[in-house]
Amino acid sequence: MPFQAVPDVAQIRLEGTVDGQLTINDLYFQVSGGGITPTNIEAITGACANWLADTLAPLLSENWSAQRAVGFDLGSATGPIATVGAAAPGGVASEAAPNNVAACVSIRTAQRGRSGRGRNFVPGVPGSVVTLNTLSPTFITNLLDAYDLLRGAGSFLAGWQQVVVSRQTAGALRPTGIAIPVTGFVVTTPYVRSMRSREVGHGA
C-alpha cells in the first residue's frame, strides 16, 4: 500500500532468532514536543534494545536469542532510522517450545474495538512453563510485569509514550495513522498461541 504517515511516531522492531528462524515483534512510541530526529530515535531504539536484552530475554528459553532493535520514523517516508544491537541469549535453561508457539500479549488502550488494541506474540517460550497448552501463572505475571515497564508518558524514556497505531477505521484507510496511548497489557487466556510464519523454513 502507499506510504501512510503516522506523525511523531516511531516503530521499533524487536528482532531475535530461535532454531535459525527470525522472530519479530513491533512496538510503537510517540514523541512529544518537536518531532522525530536522528538523535531521539536512536535513544528510543536503544532503550528498547536494552529492554529486549535485559528484561524480556531473561524470561525466555536459552534456545532463543535477542539480536537487535530497529527504529523507524513513521512520520516521513524518508525519515531517520536507527539500529541498536541487543545480543543476549534467553535466560531460562529449558528447551524452547516449537518455533511457532508463542505467548500472546494484548496491548490495550482506553479505546474499544480492534483499532484500539495491539498484540505481541512472544517467542522462545520455555517448555518448563508450559503444561500441555497452558502457560504457568508465574510466567504470565512476569511477562506482563516486563511489558508494563514500557507504558506511561515519559516513564520508559523521557519524552516518549508507548502507543498503539491505528491505520484504518471502519475498514477504510485513514488519511494519516493515529497514535493511541497504551493503558495496559493482558494475556487474555493462559493458553499458548501459534505463529506459523515462525516455523522452520519461514521466519518472523
- pLDDT interval class at 166 (50, 70, 90): confident
Q: Give yes or no for a contact between 166 and 115, defined as CB atoms under 8 angstroms apart.
A: yes
Identify the residue with better confidence: 189 or 195.
189
Place of cell 480492534: 114
Q: How far apart are CA 29 and CA 157, in angstroms?
A: 10
Q: Which residue has the higher pLDDT, 71 or 172?
A: 71
The length of the chain in residues reads 204
Q: What is the pLDDT of residue 201?
A: 60
- Quote the pTM value: 0.92
Q: Is the pLDDT of residue 113 over 80?
A: no
147 has pLDDT over 60: yes
pLDDT of residue 123: 96
For 172, other C-beta atoms within 10 Å of its C-beta total 7
